[in-house]
A and B are shown apart, each in its own frame.
Chain A
Amino acid sequence: MTFAGIDVGARSVKLVILRDGEILFAKAVATEEEGAVASQRLIEEGLRETNLSFAELLHIVSTGEGRATVSFANTQRSEQLCHARGARWLFPSARTVLDVGFEGSRAMKLNEEGRVTDFALNSKCAAGSGAFLEAMTHIVEMPLEEMGMMAATAKRRAKISSYCAVFAESEVISNIHRGVSKERIVAGIHESVVDRLVEILRRVGIVEDVVITGGVAKNIGVIKALERNLGLEVKAPGDPQVVGALGAALIAQDLRKR
């Protein structure tokens, strides 16, 4: 029994193929292409890698901002449902799921059975998003991962007080001009992202365990800053970027069973 979930985000497309309850294939591809083209290319790759034919995929669920562009999907589901389902499968104790993507973040509250009972999202503003962090990499002239590592180990933090990502860019530039160390600046940037994320989390309420998903969850600096802010442990999957696609594949499986 084989199922697939595909997640078309603002910056990347993710695919998970499940067979008999196990992950057979999982991949995230950064793309600038239209969702329809990128998702077609990725499903072809997935089928090739797994030696499956398209007909063997019993059900396909698409999710993400571009979910409607996936012509071969049988069903579409919201990011909230998919991230919650995927996170819960990876961490059965998850009660709060925070998905931080390139152009949006969302917090989901789950009940004991894993059903989403509330959610809050920010998709209108780059504050607290992957786009914000990416914009900052150009200013501090440092790759994203290096920036995250530096933030995670920083002793002191510069205060970035602007809410808006564009104003924060100017603030970071003036910090650099004033000679503030990169370590402090980078730590301040992560702190700012986390402040925005905590606002979203507080709107649904925070119940442990807290799981973070989405591309930004690959950033250790964000996770450490979030843990410090919340005063609790935050769980991150090994490959947080594919959790939405994983959830979509699991929902595909659920739909078939029903």
Chain B
Amino acid sequence: MIVAGVDVGSRTTSALILGDSEILSHSVIPTGAESVKTARKGMKEALRGANMSLDDINYIVATGYGRVLVPFAHEIATEIWCHARGANLYFPAVRTVLDMGGQDCKAIRVDANGNHTNFAMNDKCAAGTGRFLEVMAETLGLPVDDIGELSLQSKNEARISSMCTVFARSEVNRLVRRGIDKKDILAGLHEAISTRVYGLLRKVGVEEDFVISGGIAMNIGVVRKIEEKVGLKALIPEEPQIVGALGAALIARERAKGFETPGKARLP
């Protein structure tokens, strides 16, 4: 049976095709202004990778912030549920997942079966999200993909006192004007963001194995800072941005009973 998961996030959309025993293909694209178009495009890209068409898929589950806008999905599932499932497939011993996305951040406790038992979430405020880092990278005139490595070279970490993205942006501007090294500013920013997400983690409690997923998991500077605070090594999935879509596909497989004929039962 072939199933698929689509995760329409606020900044990034990923789609994944799952066969009986392996991931057949996946796509990761930026979420555009129109979520419906983005969802179709992401799915099309994943299908192309697996050399398939939509009619070959038995069941599709959508998740993420734009999940209700995926017209070709049979069902929707919460992000919490999908991230717990996805992380469990990557790391069966996972008990805590920190998913750091473009505009939100979730700390999720997971049991041995990959079911979530508790979670805490911030989606009201950009502090502790990818958006915070994007704004800061832009303010410093650096590519967001480079800031993790750069921050590790800091010798004299700057102190950033604001958690608020808008205030921190002014603070960064002031530090730049004072001639503070950008690497030191970055280290300070990573300290600020990790303090924020640590607050979220403490709400649910952290137990090993500890997994970080989402786009920020690719920022080694943030990961190191969180590890320091938590006192545990973080496991990072090979492709941290597809954990939600993978979980959605796993849920699709569980729910596909009665949909053995591919494509036929697709909702309008």
By a beta-carbon cutoff of 8 Å, the part of chain A in contact with chain B is 10, 32, 103, 124-126, 129, 131-132, 135, 163-167, 174, 177
User: Which residue of chain A has the shortest Cβ distance to B174 in the bound complex?
Assistant: A32
Tell which of A10, A103, A164, A174 touches B126, judged by Cβ atoms closer than 8 Å.
A164
Known: A10-B170, A131-B166, A131-B167. 14 other contacts (CB 8 A): A32-B174, A32-B177, A103-B170, A124-B163, A126-B164, A126-B165, A126-B167, A131-B170, A135-B166, A163-B124, A164-B165, A166-B165, A166-B166, A167-B125
Determine if A167 and B166 form an interchain contact, defined as CB atoms under 8 angstroms apart.
Answer: no
B109 within 8 A of A: no
In the bound complex, residues from chain B placing their C-beta under 8 Å from that of A129 are: 166
Contact B103 A126 (CB under 8 A): no
Q: Which residues of A contact B166 (CB under 8 A)?
A: 126, 129, 131-132, 135, 165-166
What's the A-B contact tally at a CB cutoff of 8 Å?
Answer: 43
Task: For chain B, give the interface size range.
Answer: 10 to 19
Most buried by A among B131, B132, B162, B164: B164
Query: Do A124 and B124 contact each other (CB < 8 Å), given the known contacts A166-B135, A167-B131?
Result: no
Q: How far is the CA of A10 from the CA of B33 in the complex (A)?
A: 35
Contacts of A10 on B, CB cut-off 8 Å?
Answer: 170
Q: Mark B109-148, 1 if CB is under 8 A from A, else 0.
A: 0000000000000001110000110010000000000000
**What is the minimal beta-carbon distance from A102 to any residue of chain B, in angstroms?**
9
Q: Which residues does chain A contribute within 8 Å of B126, judged by CB atoms?
A: 164, 166-167
Which listed residue (B103, B135, B164) contacts A124, Cβ 8 A? B164
For residue A32, which residues in chain B have a CB less than 8 angstroms away from its CB?
Answer: 174, 177
Instruction: Tell whether, in the assembled complex, residue B125 and residue A164 are in contact, meaning their CB atoms are under 8 Å apart.
Output: yes
What residues of chain B lie closer than 8 Å to A126, measured between beta carbons?
Answer: 164-167
Residues of B within 8 A of A164 (CB): 124-126, 165
Give the Cβ gap from B150 to chain A, nearest Cβ, in Å.
22
| B residues neighboring A (CB under 8 Å) | 33, 103, 124-126, 131-132, 135, 162-167, 170, 174, 177
Kindly provide the distance from the CB of A117 to the nearest chain B CB, expressed in whole angstroms.
Answer: 29
Residues of chain A within 8 A (CB-CB) of B135 are 166
- Which of A103, A166, A177 is close to B131, meaning CB atoms less than 8 Å apart? A166
The chain B residue sitting closest to A173, CB to CB, is B33
Contact A103 B165 (CB under 8 A): no
Q: How far is the CA of A165 from the CA of B177 in the complex (A)?
A: 24
| Residue on A nearest B135 in the bound complex, by CB | A166
Shortest CB distance B139–A (Å): 12
Q: How far is the CB of A197 from chain B (nearest CB, A)?
A: 16
> How distant is the Cα of A136 from the Cα of B63 in the complex, in angstroms?
32
CB distance from B252 to the nearest CB of A (A): 30
27 A-B pairs in the complex with CB atoms less than 8 angstroms apart: A32-B174, A103-B167, A103-B170, A124-B164, A125-B125, A125-B164, A125-B167, A126-B167, A129-B166, A131-B170, A163-B124, A163-B125, A164-B125, A164-B126, A164-B165, A165-B164, A165-B165, A165-B166, A166-B126, A166-B131, A166-B135, A166-B165, A167-B103, A167-B125, A167-B131, A174-B33, A177-B33
Minimum CB–CB distance from B211 to chain A (whole Å) comes to: 26
Smallest CB–CB gap between A114 and chain B, Å? 32
A129 to B164, CA, bound (A): 12
Query: For A163, what are the chain B residues with a Cβ–Cβ distance below 8 Å?
Result: 124-125
Report the separation of the CA atoms of residues A124 and B171 in the bound assembly, to the nearest whole angstrom: 13
* B220–chain A nearest beta-carbon distance, Å: 24
- Interface-centre pick from A10, A124, A131, A167 (highest chain B CB count, 10 A): A167
In the complex, A131 Cα to B170 Cα: how many Å?
9
State in angstroms the CA–CA spacing of A164 and B167 once bound together: 12
Residues of B within 8 A of A131 (CB): 166-167, 170
Residues of B within 8 A of A124 (CB): 162-164
Contacts of A165 in B (CB 8 A): 164-166
Query: Closest approach, in angstroms, between the C-beta of B11 and any C-beta of chain A?
Result: 10
Which one of B103, B165, B166, B174 has the highest number of Cβ atoms from chain A below 10 Å of its Cβ? B166
Tell me the smallest distance from the CB of B38 to a CB of chain A, in Å. 14
- Whole-angstrom CA separation of A166 from B127 in the bound complex: 9
Which of B131, B135, B167 has the most C-beta atoms of chain A within 10 angstroms of its own C-beta? B167
A166 to B135, CA, bound (A): 9
Interface centre among B163, B165, B177 (most CB of A within 10 A): B165
In the bound assembly, the distance between CA atoms of A177 and B32 in angstroms comes to: 12
A163 to B163, CA, bound (A): 15
The CA of A136 and the CA of B124, in the complex, are separated in Å by 18
B103 CB, nearest partner CB in chain A, Å: 7
Assembly CA distance A165 to B165 (angstroms): 8
Residues of chain A within 8 A of B174, CB atoms compared? 32
* A126, B162: Cα distance in complex, Å: 10
Whole-angstrom CA separation of A103 from B162 in the bound complex: 11
* B200 CB to nearest A CB, Å: 15
